[in-house]
């Protein structure tokens, strides 16, 4: 197997759906912009040489449909010869897209490929515009279609993750994100053009564009005490609230991957190698446990242990499931290596974008701290977990 190198990894800010900065910005525009931005970081790359654009999207319909991977590649100004595809494994879609592009390079099938992700949860709500569960199968196996919030309640109840623990974890996520913003640590974020409609004196609206440079869901000053006052949103007697759940978010992210031959030919210093990616299944009605199974599978294949991993991005779909996975993986002793700039509770979880978003964040932090190995992992609706291992290039 050859090596697959990431030479560029960037993301738009994550902005709250329906009320955040990207609520009037089409997902095609977010994606086209970030594809351009990822390639702009590699000025010596001829766009003709991009052999594929794989784009993760969890609900690839309506504005995100019609193969947004190809459409956004064209909107980004890539030449006709550059193809594009849309990839779906719900919350790991963006990482799946990176893995598929990495595999092409590792197999010698391509020298340059892009792995990306996009989700506008404003334009296409979670579940899609017109959900159509299989009528008979859904009656017998409703768990496969369960609300993600209910799966988070199941994890909390079955595995004894208390409300207080969830709120403390959520407050810490917010505090870490606020500190990272203040200290300018989100170096992977590219200020992104956003649209807004401004009311005019004659009653019409004018479309304006502005640059959005930061994740707009962060609530500095959040404490566990404040969060303890929020009501559960998914079950009356439950413990999962708006404050200890991931935010629903709009965003896009992209990485450029290359073979060793190509980086040598272009004289590029790569950021990291994609070493391994794996996905695994678990019970659908407690899908949040996914990383607890995906991570040991990943590390087993790599011949590493949790002690070898210097930084983790473990997606905070919900505090309950993130805490359960951290506990079962024996990672409580490494809390200072996990989601160091905060996680999805503060920064948002734009479903199909998240895999590519967390990759960009992880790589930026690995570079900043000089960490050799980093792992990214997430749970996935339907009952799955995914994980990927990255190695920093010196
Ligand atoms: C939980 C959920 C339904 C909440 O949605 P929402 O009502 O739009 O959430 P908001 O972030 O707007 O918060 C609602 C209210 O809770 C309170 N709140 C939320 N976070 C808070 C915090 N950190 N501190 C204080 N109050 C907070 C506020 O009162 C807020 O209202 P405001 O924004 O007007 O002040 C939604 O975030 C969700 O579905 N998350 C999970 C997404 C998911 O399942 N993803 C897939 C996982 S696999």
Q: Which of 15, 57, 325, 349 is catalytic?
A: 349
Using alpha carbons only, what angle is made at residue 75 by residues 70 and 76, rounded to the nearest 5 degrees? Answer: 95
Question: What global pTM score does this model have?
Answer: 0.98
Based on the residue annotation, tell me whether 353 is a catalytic residue of this protein. Answer: no
Task: Give tens-digit pLDDT for 19-74.
Answer: 999 999 999 999 999 999 999 999 999 999 999 999 999 999 999 999 999 999 99
- Determine whether 349 is an active site residue: yes
Residue of 91, 282, 353, 359 marked active site: 91
380 Cα nearest atom in ligand 1: 48
**pLDDT by residue (tens digit) across 96-136?**
999 999 999 999 999 999 999 999 999 999 999 999 999 99
User: Taking the CA of residue 152 as centre, how many other CA atoms within 13 Å lie in the half-sphere pointing to its CB?
Assistant: 28
- The CA 333 to ligand 1 mean position distance, Å, reads 29
346-352 average pLDDT score: 98
CA of 241 to the centre of ligand 1 (A): 7
Between the CA of 124 and the centroid of ligand 1 the distance, in Å, is 18
Select from 147, 149, 313, 123 the least CA-distant residue to 238: 149
User: Which of 242, 321, 383, when mutated, tests ligand 1's pocket best, judged by the most ligand atoms within 8 Å of its CB?
Assistant: 242
Looking at residue 87, what is its pLDDT? 98
What is the Å distance from ligand 1's center to 345 Cα? Answer: 9
Which residues face 199 on adjacent strands? 205
| Residue nearest atom 23 of ligand 1, based on CA coordinates | 243
Closest CA to ligand 1's atom 9: 242
Instruction: Find the helix packing angle between 93-106 and 351-369, rounded to 10°.
Output: 60
Question: Is residue 325 flagged as an active site residue?
Answer: no
Q: In this predicted model, what pLDDT tens digit does every residue of 194-222 receive, in sequence order?
A: 999 999 999 999 999 999 999 999 999 99
């Amino acid at each position: 197997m050859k090596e697959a190198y990431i030479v560029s990894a960037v993301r738009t800010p994550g902005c709250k759906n329906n009320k955040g900065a990207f609520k009037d910005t089409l997902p095609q525009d977010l994606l086209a912009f970030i594809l351009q931005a990822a390639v702009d970081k590699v000025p010596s790359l001829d766009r003709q040489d991009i052999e594929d654009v794989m784009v993760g999207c969890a609900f690839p319909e309506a504005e995100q449909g019609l193969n947004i991977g190809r459409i956004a590649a064209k909107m980004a100004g890539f030449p006709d010869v550059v193809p594009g595809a849309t990839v779906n494994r719900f919350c790991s879609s963006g990482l799946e897209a990176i893995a598929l592009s990495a595999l092409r390079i590792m197999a010698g099938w391509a020298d340059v490929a892009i792995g990306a992700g996009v989700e506008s949860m404003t334009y296409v709500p979670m579940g899609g515009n017109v959900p159509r569960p299989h009528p008979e199968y859904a009656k017998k196996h409703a768990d496969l279609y369960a609300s993600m919030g209910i799966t988070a309640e199941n994890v909390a109840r079955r595995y004894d993750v208390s409300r207080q623990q969830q709120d403390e974890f959520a407050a810490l996520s917010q505090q870490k994100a606020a500190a990272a913003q203040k200290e300018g640590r989100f170096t992977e974020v590219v200020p992104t053009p956003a649209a807004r409609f401004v009311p005019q004196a004659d009653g019409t609206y004018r479309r304006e564009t502005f640059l959005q440079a930061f994740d707009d869901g962060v609530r500095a000053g959040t404490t566990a005490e404040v969060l303890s006052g929020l009501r559960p949103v998914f079950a009356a007697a439950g413990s999962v609230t708006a404050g200890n759940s991931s935010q629903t978010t709009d965003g896009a992210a992209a990485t450029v991957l290359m073979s060793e031959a190509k980086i040598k030919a272009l004289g590029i210093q790569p950021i990291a190698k994609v070493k391994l990616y794996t996905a695994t299944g678990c019970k659908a009605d407690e899908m949040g446990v996914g990383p607890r199974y995906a991570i040991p599978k990943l590390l087993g294949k790599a011949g590493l242990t949790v002690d070898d991993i210097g930084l983790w991005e473990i997606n905070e779909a919900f505090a309950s499931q993130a805490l359960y996975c951290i506990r079962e993986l024996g990672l409580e002793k490494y809390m200072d290596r996990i989601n160091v700039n905060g996680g999805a509770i503060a920064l948002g979880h734009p479903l199909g974008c998240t895999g590519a978003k967390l990759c960009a964040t992880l790589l930026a932090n690995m570079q900043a701290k000089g960490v050799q190995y980093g792992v990214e992992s997430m749970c996935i609706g339907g009952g799955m977990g995914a994980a990927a291992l990255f190695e920093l290039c010196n």
